[in-house]
Amino acid sequence: MKRVSLYSSSRRPTKGRGVPLASQTPESTSENSAAADPVPAPKPPGRIRKFLARHERPVLVAISAFITVLAIFTYAKIQEPQRVLTQKDIDNAVMHTLETKSLPSATARAAAIIRPSVVRVNRKGKDEDDADRGVGTGVIIQEDGTILTNLHVVAGADRVEVEFFDGSTSEADVVGVQPEHDLAVIQAKTLPDDMKPATMRSTAGLMPGDEVVAVGHPFGIGPSTSAGVISGLRRDYVNPKGKRVLTNLIQFDAAANPGNSGGPLVTLDGEVIGIVTAILNPTEQRVFIGIGFAVPIENAAAGSGMSPY
């Protein structure tokens, strides 16, 4: 007789079939369900991204074309030749400046250049309180305070005093004379900080009609400026008393009066070409009538023992 196999009627719980185990609590069950929630789906791309995604190739072509055009334009600008100024452009610019701006005259520029080198020369008596016995002019020609003036300006002085452009004063010694040219060289004892020696220029090449400027202290007033032209060269002069003859002089018509003696006669560049020494006046009024004389700077500088240029 066959034996019938016996089977248990109970079944073991299998894994993964969703049958809760006894060890599981409601809380753990809820945590597991929360962890199993699905991840939100990504947002769809925006319109610009969709457009770029659909038309990527045409957009890249357009950007490349723009960059190429920009590069060509920039290169053309860099390589563009600069406009060359013509004489007409220059003339128009000069005319515009002359019409819209007031420029200093040539005489004013020359006077401004030479004035810091011009000094007033006072001939003094023995006493400090003595009034000036005479006034003349001088011009500084060296940085050590060497000054050129006329001999008749300092002749007979007990003391010589010079007044500089900045108003400061100093006693000066007579260190050299040239009677044949009515010239004297004086040396200032005290110098201002901003003292400026004049620039000298050869008289070679000067012609009658060239413009000149005279700066000095006529009748003690100054510094005063007058302008004119060279009237002649290599002139001779005899003083009213007939005691002195000066030769090889520059004749000029810039106004000069007593007190201008020893002052510089300069070109429009402010360069000294002579030392004013005399005026011609057949009367006893001692005023200017249009003829003045200056010693050429070559003779004047030689008296100071230096080359004029």
Catalytic residue list: 152, 182, 261
Query: What is the DSSP-derived secondary structure letter of residue 200?
Result: B
Query: What is the DSSP-derived secondary structure letter of residue 282?
Result: S
Angle between helices 56-79 and 47-54 (to 10 degrees): 80
Are residues 140 and 195 in contact, defined by beta-carbon separation less than 8 angstroms?
yes
Round to the nearest angstrom and report the end-to-end CA distance of the chain: 159
- How far from 152 is each of 105, 123, 220, CA to CA, in Å? 33, 10, 15
Query: What is the rounded CA–CA span in Å between residue 57 and residue 162?
Result: 92
Query: What is the DSSP-derived secondary structure letter of residue 36?
Result: T
Query: What is the rounded CA–CA span in Å between residue 262 and residue 243?
Result: 19
Other beta carbons within 10 angstroms of residue 259's beta carbon come to: 22
Find the Cα–Cα–Cα–Cα dihedral 269, 270, 273, 278, rounded to 10°. Answer: 130
Task: Tell me the residue type at 288.
Answer: F
Task: Tell me the residue type at 210.
Answer: D
Q: Which residues pair with 150 in a beta bridge?
A: 183
CA 238 from centre of chain: 47
Angle at CA of residue 226, ends 223 and 231, nearest 5°: 140
Are residues 45 and 53 in contact, defined by beta-carbon separation less than 8 angstroms?
yes
- 97 membership: H or E segment, kind and range: helix 87-100
State phi, psi for 254 to the nearest 5 degrees.
-70, 135
